Chain A
Amino acid sequence: MADWKCCDKCWHSPERPCPDLVECLTAGPVCHDDSSCRERIAARTSDRRRENPVRPIIFIGAGTCGLGAGAGKSLVRIRQYIEKNQLDTDVIEVGCIGMCIAEPMVDVQLPGKTRVSFHGITEDKVDSLLDSVFSGEIPSEDVLGQFRSDTLASWPGVPYLDEHPFMRNQTRWVLANCGIINPTDIWEYIARGGYRALAKSLGKITPQELCDMVIKSGLRGRGGGGFPTGRKWKFALDTPGDQKYYICNADEGDPGAFMDRAVIEGDPYRLLEGLAIGSYAIGASKAYVYIRAEYPLAIKHLEEAIEEAKALGLLGENILDSGFNLEIVIKQGAGAFVCGEETALIHSIEGKRGMPRPRPPYPAVRGLFDKPTVINNVETLANVPDIVANGAEWFSGVGTETSKGTKVFALSGKVARTGLVEVAMGTPLRQIIFDIGGGIANGKAFKAVQIGGPSGGCIPTPHLDILIDYESLKTVGAMMGSGGLVVMDEDNCMVDVAKFFMDFIQRESCGKCIPCREGTKRMLDILKRITRGRGSESKEEALERFQGMMYLTRLAGVIQDTSLCGLGQTAPNPVLSTLRWFRDEYEAHVYERKCPAGACTELLGYRIDTDKCKGCTLCAKKCPVDAIMGSPKSPHYINPDRCIACGTCADVCRFDAVITE
């Protein structure tokens, strides 16, 4: 008897599916009445919901980020501890809850008590933490907070996790299960209401109604473009075709963005359920998850989740006896940024070089293998089950006029609390950075926040009160993008930031269209010239530096205006947006040949503090261009015309007499 069956009366199998399976698995049995079956099912649900564990449970955040912070070693130590002390304890590897700063994170739940989260539990801290917790002590320096529970006793004097400043202002829908459930146990997802939306869709809602529901919910693409998801579905539904495809775009490539990875690692089932509902809505019998090969853990979890769903009959032929079939194929991307663009992604799945093609025809009309295809990003799809389960009004009840629901951001850079945050649309940017993120680390001053990755822009202090909303972000030259949020402080040079993104783009351009391929390279050349050191510049090069600046915006305009795909059309944004808000920094680089933030090392000037210089001559001996003059035992002098700003003098000076400026 398969493990989901309460007794032999349950006849469900993938070959002979029962439409009431999901209901039965959580609140069943449906087809017969038997109190012992009912108890067995209720016990399983309660167990997976951790409502009353009989044994202590240790949870460890073992997403890629946690492992990077040392969770792997902590896990080994935890297992050693359990063995040494001969404890009857479960250890569960969960995904990432989003608090990068707190990794490695370990939660402990003792029988009858609430689950408590601890931060920074590196290998060496494991023993003392577990010693304390198992003896009933919560070490206050390690604790992040305890979970709320209706059934379990709370720990006195321990703050609640949802009151932590990082969590307090979040609206966690997509990330609801991330870092909490076991991402390799489908029962945990089902016990928390998973797959109800799919069962509801297949049983009672027509594809047409589903499209209308998603249109009404106001859900828009979370991958960058922000196109209304339901309308995309409807185009594909209305296009006749013997075969249609659904593609989940998990080719997350923006520098500093890791939302999709966290969702798949921490809660792959939510994505698969959304994918199944979407496929049903457009009439696709085959779906692809295009995921970058650099996400091995996410791929592993996704593969396992697909197998689990298949074994239960939640994927495959005649799902829940609805007549709907769905096969999901994982296609690993080879690490090209442009393959996030939908037509390039389609080419990649088809086995061709990942290069975009002109649209129209749009993929919804002519997509993968020339068939109608819908492509949605991971976060978009992860929103779908809740919309179906709770209704369009519930979803559209949160957000602004044109942007509904929530948005996940990867908060990184110079902020005190980096991590993955999910906020309601309409949340002020300031709140994300200063309340959730805790402001700038090390007491430095905030300068700007880069939003939307290489296609996005920088938002400076005067616009920090802008609300998270597709349209309002555009008014300040930024865009929602996929959700990268890089905070910059006074030490960041905005020209350098623009240069970083241009370098990224000119390397990741597919090379197909001329403006993007050649234009981004020349834009980078121009930026390189204005950040190049004075000493190494010839007269002709100086002329080119000015000429470049004269044509920079014109070139940017043509690239935006003529490029083939979204990557090229938005490629100049980082430059245009920094030019718009930080023109003074550009001017300082071009005219004064100075980098106000001190980040462009070639532009730094070196001067010798005559009071500190002892005349040891070391700097003069080491200077590669003989730019330092002076007699022994008397203060030296750096000839600025000769200096190439290599910094050797500052490195070798034993008296801190070389000043950089």
Chain B
Amino acid sequence: MIKIEVNNRTVEAEPGEMILTALRRAGINVPTLCHMENLFPSGACRMCVVEVEGQRSLVPSCAFPVADGMKIQTHSARVVRARKTIVELLLANHPDDCLYCVRNKNCELQELSSELGVVQRHYTGEKNDYKQDISSPSIVRDPSKCILCGRCVRVCEEVQGVAAIDFAHRGSKSCVETAFGEGLNVSSCVNCGQCIAVCPTGALTERSHIQMVVDALNNPDLYCVVQHAPSVSVTLAEEFGMKPGTDVDGIMVTALRQLGFKKVFDTSFSADLTIMEEASELVHRIQTGGKIPMMTSCSPGWIKFVETFYPDFIENLSTCKSPQQMMGAVIKHYFAQKEGIDPAKIFSVSIMPCTAKKFECGRQEMIHDGVADVDAVLTTRELARFIRQRGVDINALSPDTADTPFGHRSTAGKIFGASGGVMEAALRTAYWMITGKDMEDPKIQDVRGMKGVKEIHLNIGGLELGFAVASGLGNARRLLEEIRNGRSDIHFIEIMTCPGGCIAGGGQPLGANQQAIRARMQKLYTIDRDEKVKFSHHNEDILRIYKDFLEKPLGHKSHHLLHTHYSSRDKVIR
């Protein structure tokens, strides 16, 4: 440890670390706009500048290493004037339409402006005027609101390895664009929404389905049902000011009923269904010499990623639809039949942590005879907005349980929400399918946690099998490259598009740091620890649906309703 002097007070710092890290540890808040946890500093926004004795100019604390005895001023008049001027400059080229912005009251630029006491327009002039890009089924880009902090560009390229967007043009005409300035829909974008999660302003938002849902609820001819994804119950609370990792499962069910949905189903049920199908497929592939390693197919961003960048791995993908689509299919075919409702009259909504789900539900493979498995997708954020719009006081609700026949779940289905969860759930059931016994300890610690790539080798029923879990497409890319280069010890791979899994999805509450994501993940595992039914194949509703309708995993009906196919895509469509 070395000592530095900050605002005339001694602070300890690690040699080689950046000033900003030392300041944050010491509880000194320096604003940032371009800084991203765990990534190399880019030094673009200059908000974090501090005065360092002996330096001619102000230095960016995010990118300047500490030195023993360094004397720093973080809030001197010179520093504050600089920060304030920078915010004023951003505002001078900003639409200034906060009252009409989806990020109103949840905007980093707005917060900074308020913190720094910007109350006057000192700099005025021409503003850049760009068209919105509404071409994507998942993401809306409004470059006029973009402050070019570069976080979206970096997350897309450095974390996700997709690089659908980058800086284009020069000087004051610089902006973030897709290749050739075309729409996101014809770019290599996989719709993951991580760009939205890091955007400080309203430049990137989800393509909202709220109005579509409101219209459906108001339509007396439609029978509206809703499903909610495993991770949503542990993140929704943050939208209402509760601390990360709070589970509001039952309250959410009540809220959804109050919003007008006739049935509330739990996607964790169809996650169990996915496991039955996927574990069967895995066992089948291993026993019959099928394409190995098999790769999960729950995460629609990952699917598009493979189709776009690694089409040679399409055969490795499990043919199982994702839990959202499986639920959609059984609602419109099994539930409709059972209840005597015309499937075309059912409006099926899903609450997802994900923006790519909006894309997935519109895929041609997911629509049969004009009837889509799922009709609309609301992200966690949209659900919170919808709840507020409808005047539902979440604090006044008592919890309730989801509806039959898709209301019961095992905890295996619930942990789908965290990276490694699908793997753990699948292994529990695959073990049972191969050995005929349940695992003694269903907890598989090696596939849990926030690490980008996790691996485990197990002997199941005499078979030496390798399993890998990756989250974040950049990590997936590295793993795929290893396999392309001949690695053959892995039999099953779980990939989640977003780093950490669905709990950190592109549709989740904004502003979550690593600590918050860990808390969300921890909650899912606490549920797994505390509840009794830990195996998908022990879920009674699952047993019933196979008995009454589907007959057996990988059977004829399953094949028709629960499985799908993929095809390669161009990176950029021109």
Q: Which of A510-541 contact B (CB under 8 A)?
A: 510-515, 517-522, 525
Separation in Å of the B181 CB from the closest CB of chain A? Answer: 15
Q: Does B259 contact A (CB under 8 A)?
A: no
Q: Does A239 contact B (CB under 8 A)?
A: no
Do the beta carbons of A521 and B172 come within 8 Å of each other? Answer: yes
Q: B45: which A residues are within 8 A, CB to CB?
A: 513-514
Q: Give Cα A479 to B167, complex, Å.
A: 32
- Knowing A353-B166, A525-B126, A561-B57 are in contact, say whether A515-B85 is a contact too (CB < 8 A): yes
Q: Give Cα A522 to B60, complex, Å.
A: 22
Separation in Å of the B215 CB from the closest CB of chain A? Answer: 41
Q: Does B86 contact A (CB under 8 A)?
A: yes
Q: B86: which A residues are within 8 A, CB to CB?
A: 514-515, 518, 558, 562
Do the beta carbons of B170 and A358 come within 8 Å of each other? Answer: no
Q: A555: which B residues are within 8 A, CB to CB?
A: 85, 123
Q: Does B58 contact A (CB under 8 A)?
A: yes
Q: Give Cα A506 to B126, complex, Å.
A: 13
Q: B122: which A residues are within 8 A, CB to CB?
A: 547, 551
Q: Most A CB atoms within 10 A — which of B44, B45, B78, B86?
A: B44
Do the beta carbons of A517 and B46 come within 8 Å of each other? Answer: no
Q: A508: which B residues are within 8 A, CB to CB?
A: 170-171
Q: Does B214 contact A (CB under 8 A)?
A: no
Do the beta carbons of A515 and B46 come within 8 Å of each other? Answer: yes
- Closest chain B residue to A543 by CB distance? B124
Q: Does B174 contact A (CB under 8 A)?
A: yes
Q: Give Cα A547 to B121, complex, Å.
A: 10
Q: Give Cα A336 to B169, complex, Å.
A: 10
Q: Give Cα A506 to B171, complex, Å.
A: 5
Q: B167: which A residues are within 8 A, CB to CB?
A: 353, 355, 511-512
Which of B65, B78, B174 is the one whose CB lies under 8 Å from A517?
B174
- Binary contact track A529-569/B, C-beta < 8 Å → 1, others 0: 00000000000000010011001001100101111100001
Q: Does B107 contact A (CB under 8 A)?
A: no
Q: Give Cα A360 to B41, complex, Å.
A: 11
Separation in Å of the B225 CB from the closest CB of chain A? Answer: 47
Q: Give Cα A511 to B63, complex, Å.
A: 18
Task: Of the listed stretches B88-96, B334-342, B434-442, name the one at the interface; the rest are far from the partner chain.
Answer: B88-96
- Knowing A551-B122, A564-B43 are in contact, say whether A509-B171 is a contact too (CB < 8 A): yes
Separation in Å of the B142 CB from the closest CB of chain A? Answer: 18
Q: A513: which B residues are within 8 A, CB to CB?
A: 43-46
Separation in Å of the A334 CB from the closest CB of chain B? Answer: 11
Q: Does A357 contact B (CB under 8 A)?
A: yes
Do the beta carbons of B58 and A561 come within 8 Å of each other? Answer: yes
Q: Which of A486-510 contact B (CB under 8 A)?
A: 505-510
- Knowing A511-B169, A558-B86 are in contact, say whether A357-B57 is a contact too (CB < 8 A): no
Q: Give Cα A506 to B46, complex, Å.
A: 18
Do the beta carbons of A520 and B171 come within 8 Å of each other? Answer: yes
Q: Which of A423-464 contact B (CB under 8 A)?
A: none
Do the beta carbons of B89 and A511 come within 8 Å of each other? Answer: no
Q: Give Cα A547 to B120, complex, Å.
A: 12
Q: Does B49 contact A (CB under 8 A)?
A: yes
Q: Give Cα A510 to B168, complex, Å.
A: 9
Do the beta carbons of A518 and B81 come within 8 Å of each other? Answer: no
Q: Is the interface on chain A under 10, 10 to 19, 20 to 34, or 35 or more residues?
A: 35 or more
Q: Give Cα A135 to B57, complex, Å.
A: 67
Q: A548: which B residues are within 8 A, CB to CB?
A: 123
- Closest chain B residue to A550 by CB distance? B122
Do the beta carbons of B172 and A561 come within 8 Å of each other? Answer: no
- Knowing A513-B43, A519-B89, A561-B58 are in contact, say whether A358-B125 is a contact too (CB < 8 A): no
Q: Which of A334-353 contact B (CB under 8 A)?
A: 336, 338, 353
Q: A520: which B residues are within 8 A, CB to CB?
A: 171-172
Q: Does B82 contact A (CB under 8 A)?
A: yes
Q: B166: which A residues are within 8 A, CB to CB?
A: 353
- Closest chain A residue to B91 by CB distance? A518
Q: Which of B151-205 contact A (CB under 8 A)?
A: 166-167, 169-174
Name the prevailing secondary structure of the A interface residues: helix
Q: Does B13 contact A (CB under 8 A)?
A: no
Do the beta carbons of B43 and A358 come within 8 Å of each other? Answer: yes
Do the beta carbons of B174 and A521 come within 8 Å of each other? Answer: no
Do the beta carbons of B89 and A515 come within 8 Å of each other? Answer: yes
- How many positions in chain B have a CB within 8 Å of any CB in the partner chain? 39
Separation in Å of the A558 CB from the closest CB of chain B? Answer: 4
- Knowing A555-B123, A561-B57 are in contact, say whether A521-B171 is a contact too (CB < 8 A): yes
Separation in Å of the B155 CB from the closest CB of chain A? Answer: 17
Do the beta carbons of A511 and B174 come within 8 Å of each other? Answer: yes
Q: Most B CB atoms within 10 A — which of A357, A511, A520, A544?
A: A511
Q: Does B317 contact A (CB under 8 A)?
A: no
Do the beta carbons of A517 and B148 come within 8 Å of each other? Answer: yes
Q: Give Cα A544 to B120, complex, Å.
A: 13
- Binary contact track B48-70/A, C-beta < 8 Å → 1, others 0: 01000000011010011100000
Q: Give Cα A513 to B86, complex, Å.
A: 10
- Closest chain A residue to B148 by CB distance? A511
Q: Give Cα A548 to B92, complex, Å.
A: 13
Which of B41, B90, B150, B172 is the one whose CB lies under 8 Å from A509?
B172
Q: Most B CB atoms within 10 A — which of A507, A519, A561?
A: A561
- Knowing A512-B150, A514-B147, A558-B85 are in contact, say whether A358-B171 is a contact too (CB < 8 A): no
- Knowing A358-B63, A555-B85 are in contact, say whether A560-B57 is a contact too (CB < 8 A): yes
Q: Does B42 contact A (CB under 8 A)?
A: yes
- Binary contact track B364-406/A, C-beta < 8 Å → 1, others 0: 0000000000000000000000000000000000000000000
Which of A507, A522, A562 is the one whose CB lies under 8 Å from B82?
A562
Do the beta carbons of B171 and A564 come within 8 Å of each other? Answer: no
Do the beta carbons of B44 and A514 come within 8 Å of each other? Answer: yes
Do the beta carbons of B171 and A562 come within 8 Å of each other? Answer: no
Do the beta carbons of B49 and A562 come within 8 Å of each other? Answer: yes
- Closest chain B residue to A569 by CB distance? B57
Q: Give Cα A561 to B166, complex, Å.
A: 27
Q: B93: which A residues are within 8 A, CB to CB?
A: 518, 521
- Closest chain A residue to B167 by CB distance? A353
- Knowing A513-B45, A518-B89, A525-B126 are in contact, say whether A360-B65 is a contact too (CB < 8 A): yes
Q: Which of A559-588 contact B (CB under 8 A)?
A: 560-564, 569
Do the beta carbons of B57 and A517 come within 8 Å of each other? Answer: no
Do the beta carbons of B171 and A357 come within 8 Å of each other? Answer: no
Separation in Å of the A571 CB from the closest CB of chain B? Answer: 11
Q: A505: which B residues are within 8 A, CB to CB?
A: 171
Q: Give Cα A512 to B65, complex, Å.
A: 21
- Knowing A520-B172, A521-B125 are in contact, say whether A564-B85 is a contact too (CB < 8 A): no
Q: A517: which B residues are within 8 A, CB to CB?
A: 148, 171-172, 174
Q: Give Cα A569 to B42, complex, Å.
A: 17
Q: A560: which B residues are within 8 A, CB to CB?
A: 57
Q: B47: which A residues are within 8 A, CB to CB?
A: 514
- Binary contact track A250-283/B, C-beta < 8 Å → 1, others 0: 0000000000000000000000000000000000
Which of A547, A551, A564 is the one whose CB lies under 8 Å from B44?
A564
Q: Give Cα A569 to B86, complex, Å.
A: 14
Q: A338: which B residues are within 8 A, CB to CB?
A: 170
Do the beta carbons of B89 and A522 come within 8 Å of each other? Answer: yes
Do the beta carbons of A512 and B44 come within 8 Å of each other? Answer: yes
Q: B60: which A residues are within 8 A, CB to CB?
A: 358, 564
Q: Give Cα A559 to B252, complex, Å.
A: 50
Q: A544: which B residues are within 8 A, CB to CB?
A: 124
Interface pairs A-B: 9 shortest CB-CB? A511-B174, A358-B43, A525-B125, A358-B63, A518-B89, A521-B172, A558-B85, A509-B171, A562-B46
Can you sample 30 A-B contacts with CB below 8 Å? A357-B43, A358-B42, A358-B63, A507-B170, A507-B173, A508-B171, A509-B171, A510-B170, A510-B171, A511-B169, A511-B171, A511-B172, A511-B174, A513-B46, A514-B44, A514-B45, A514-B89, A515-B86, A517-B174, A518-B86, A520-B171, A521-B93, A525-B123, A525-B124, A525-B126, A561-B58, A562-B49, A562-B57, A562-B86, A564-B44
List 12 extra interface pairs beyond A514-B44, A563-B46, CB under 8 A. Answer: A355-B167, A358-B41, A358-B43, A505-B171, A506-B171, A510-B171, A511-B171, A512-B42, A513-B44, A514-B89, A525-B125, A564-B46
